Amino acid sequence: MTDDTRTSVAPHRVAFLGLGVMGYPMAGHLLRAGHAVTVYNRTAAKADQWLGEHGGQGAGAPTPRQAAHEADIVFACVGNDDDLRSVVLGEHGAFAGMKPGAVFVDHTTASAAVARELYEAAAHRGLHFVDAPVSGGQSGAIEGRLTVMCGGDAPAFERIRPVAMAYARACTHLGGPGAGQLAKMVNQICIAGLLQGLAEGIAFGQAAGLDMKRVLEVIGKGAAQSWQMEHRGATMVDDAFDFGFAVDWMRKDLGLCLDEARRNGAALPVAALVDQFYGDVQRMGGARWDTSSLIRRLRKPR
């Protein structure tokens, strides 16, 4: 089910683990929606900063377990599978502090395997787990317009959906545990191909002497239109790449896609090639450039 509307939601006690470029604004949206929010971040200073920005509203906790205590829903957005396990499992992990029947919602882009692993671990404790990676980038998190792709049990999804809509424009249940992560992989595979095509088109047009901003305005009204063209085309022409989602993170995501493809037998020739191209960008010093920096490979040295 998908919900792209914002309706009044009864306040919940929630925790948010991980206050990076995505989690920081997402937790703020939950607070502004009227929920009681407790935050945890590995670097405590970031949690203190978040609390200061919100006028002392909300609360901080020194461990995931303490943050999750008495929460109806625990949200997390961390870096990778190992980071996720570190905030979920063990003596100080969230699962150890969650009350029976509470729901853990993972917004990390991680593997489908770890989603299934933690779903089973949650079930053994009488908890619920929803894998819920997001698309929309840092700007989407700030504006509260993320797309959330969810896997897990439908009843648990229905409980968390109206709360997650505090920072989402759409929140969709796509199947059992791991389905959200698999859908995010599809998203990243599609984006990789789009960005490489856009990079090649712009580089070709510039080599031909065209005014590429004008060209993009024209073709953006036709079949070539895409979010990437609309939001990154002009900045690619300007050779500007400081817009959020970094090459390092895209390589991590494409690695997940390629690993899963090896398991399920899918062919990903373009994604594999673009992953190599992002390796070239990293070697050029572009590890923290955003993903549209693929065009740097195609430009002649000045």
Q: Concatenated DSSP letters for 114-126?
A: HHHHHHHHHHHTT
184 an active-site residue? Answer: yes
**Is the CA virtual torsion 270, 273, 277, 279 positive or negative?**
positive
Q: How far apart are CA 144 and CA 194, in angstroms?
A: 24
Please say whether the beta carbons of 247 and 291 come within 8 A.
yes
CA 162 centroid distance within chain: 19
Structure tokens at 257: 């896609």
- Which of 184, 213, 252, 300 does the annotation list as catalytic? 184
DSSP β-bridge partners for residue 171: 3, 148
Counting DSSP H helices and E strands in the chain, the numbers are 13, 10
Could you give the count of Cα atoms lying within 13 Å of 269 in the half-sphere of its Cβ? 0
Catalytic residues: 184
